[in-house]
Amino acid sequence: MLAAGQIPPATASLPLYFHFDAVFQSSPLGRLGPRTATRALWHAWLASPDLTQLAGDASPPLAELPPMTRRRIDPLGRAALQTAFWAQGESLTGPVVFASRWGEIARSVSLLRQLAGGEPLSPTAFSLSVHNASSALYSIARGDQANYAAVSAGPCSAAAGVCEALGLLADGASQVLVVSVESSLPEPYQAFEAEPHPMRAWAALIEAATRSAWKLRRPQRQCRCRLRLALPRHCPRTSPPSRSSRARRPSSARATGTGVAMRELAAWPGRLWRIAATAIAFGCFGIGGLLLGVVVFPLLRLTVRSAERRGRWARALIGWVFRLFVRWMRFLGLITYEWRGIERLQRRGLLVLANHPTLIDVVFLIGHVPDALCVVKSTLANHPSTRGPVLASGYICNNSGADLLQACVDKLRAGGNLIIFPEGTRTRPGQPLKMQRGAAQIALRGGLAITPVHIRCEPLGLFKGQPWWQVAERPLHFSLEVADDLSPSPFLEAAGGEASLAARHLTEHLIQYFSPSTRHDTVPGSHASVAARNQGVADLGTPTGRPQP
């Protein structure tokens, strides 16, 4: 497994080098060449690396695919798929980056010759001639709907694939598979090639180098080495540091392992404080909820006769307490945050839908949405710290059965604001979003516009399955963006008035909008983000937010 470490800044001018402090695990690495066409040969190559052995025309067996599918794939595609299968194995699904300068150009040239000769074209050959054909076949073979990318950057394609993988890791992916495959140009284009390039392919899993990765994912069979990717002469150039400049560096810069250890040691005082501050913050939250349920809300029940006014006062008090709690966490140095478009929340009758990356998302929203109702888990109505606030505020439990949707619609039509997390629980990092259709059905049944709130947390913390004492290396920064309202009417029209079909399309649209790799430089539903190429399950929007039938 290739654990990506720090990349030193490039210097001067000559070849550009990417340096990784890497741990190679023998089983998930794949490489094809005349002397590395099997795993055993690849492991033997690692013991004595020789770059001259990494090129050749070995035809891989590709036993992972059915014979009928395997027969249609040319040698270049077989090489790419074989190394990908070897590298990823049975690991969890995740983003995959295929990098190739020319891709399936030999097949494209063959199709052009057939066109020139007036011959009929094979639909199968045409479908396999596109640049992302190998990635599509790999996705279908594994039944994987993760993010797949096909990269072409001329002679720098392999380096571009690694850079794309590092970007996906920075966006929160737990691991990324990088596959690089190249071959010579076919006739009559070989004259444009500076030097012949026999077929070669490699693939590797890349993970972000964290402290936990060193402790928990240390492979049994490994050899330490430094991976250096040198770009060809016609790429933009910077040079590696000279021997004299390396000699002038301090020992901490030369000994990367020592530098990492020192940085980890220096970060521990702040981390210990955040562990203690997290315990203080959530202790205050639990005690505060208990006091509200035992003291404040019983007094409110005795002094205010009207149930409607009592619920409104309780929700106002909870909103004030939640705003105070957010500021308390910021004062303790646990979080920072920023709002965009928060003025859109200062209205009545809002159906607020948000993604749910962390434990305190609901605290932000209830604290800033006036008179906010919320659909909550039924277990919160029985917990000692949350039972009082849930019952006093009139929050809607998700075990209300068939009456749940109509109750939500009635609350919204009465002028209340309703907050729903369509996922039903917190997002699991590295896994595709899964949303329930209930929120879309509420919007369609009531003819209500949706106010989307996209919540981002960097670095990710307080996520599903993470113990509270495992704090990040720095305070969490929350970015909460309130987008323009999204009308459900176009989805209903595109579905021919069929509410169930419209709800499914609207839910898929929300999945694509809230996917972690999607950028939101335009209104929800736009196609401006190429990073969203494979996160959604359907193509449902245009820049105006109107779905395609």
Asked if residues 31 and 41 have their Cβ atoms less than 8 Å apart, the reply is no
Residues 6 or more apart whose Cβ sits within 8 Å of residue 541: 509, 512, 524, 525, 526, 527, 547, 548
Q: Is 92 exposed, middle or buried (0-12, 13-18, 19+ CB in 10 A)?
A: exposed
- Number of neighbouring beta carbons within 10 Å of residue 183: 24
pLDDT band, very low/low/confident/very high, at 238 (cuts 50, 70, 90): very low
Residue 32: phi and psi, rounded to 5, are: -120, 135
pLDDT band, very low/low/confident/very high, at 259 (cuts 50, 70, 90): low
pLDDT band, very low/low/confident/very high, at 173 (cuts 50, 70, 90): confident
499-531 confidence digits (pLDDT tens): 999 999 999 999 999 987 544 443 333 322 333
- Which parts of 342-444 are beta strand (E)? 351-354, 372-376, 396-397, 417-420
Output the average pLDDT for the chain.
75
CA distance 439 to 247: 62
Report the pLDDT averaged over residues 236-264. 46
More confident residue, 469 or 202: 469
Residue 173: phi and psi, rounded to 5, are: -65, 140
What is the domain class of 272-517 according to CATH?
A: alpha beta
Instruction: With a cut of 80, say whether residue 297 has pLDDT above it.
Output: yes
54-71 confidence digits (pLDDT tens): 544 456 777 777 887 777
* Long-range contacts of the stretch 322-331 (C-beta < 8 A, 24+): 322/363, 322/364, 322/366, 322/367, 323/367, 323/368, 325/281, 325/284, 325/285, 325/288, 325/363, 325/367, 326/360, 326/363, 326/364, 326/367, 328/281, 328/284, 329/281, 329/360
Half-sphere exposure of 396 (CA within 13 A, CB side): 24
Tell me the percentage of the chain whose pLDDT exceeds 90.
Answer: 32
Instruction: With a cut of 80, say whether residue 89 has pLDDT above it.
Output: no
- Number of neighbouring beta carbons within 10 Å of residue 25: 19
pLDDT band, very low/low/confident/very high, at 390 (cuts 50, 70, 90): very high
Asked if residues 148 and 534 have their Cβ atoms less than 8 Å apart, the reply is yes
Check residue 121 and report its DSSP letter.
P
Tokens describing residue 407: 């109750």
Which residue reads 């929700």 in tokens?
Answer: 315
Helix (H) / strand (E) element for 110: namely: helix 105-116
- Where do the structural domains in the chain lie, given as residue ranges? 2-236, 272-517
The per-residue pLDDT for 441 is: 92
The per-residue pLDDT for 360 is: 95
The per-residue pLDDT for 506 is: 94
Vertex 134, ends 130 and 140: CA angle to 5°?
Answer: 115
| 405-429 CB burial, b ≥16 within 10 A, e <16 | bebbbebbeeebbbbbbbbeebbee
More confident residue, 406 or 62: 406
Residues 6 or more apart whose Cβ sits within 8 Å of residue 385: 285, 286, 287, 289, 290, 293
Which amino acid type is present at position 23?
V
Which fold does the domain 2-236 belong to in CATH? Peroxisomal Thiolase; Chain A, domain 1 (3.40.47)
409-430 confidence digits (pLDDT tens): 999 998 899 999 999 889 988 8
The per-residue pLDDT for 328 is: 95
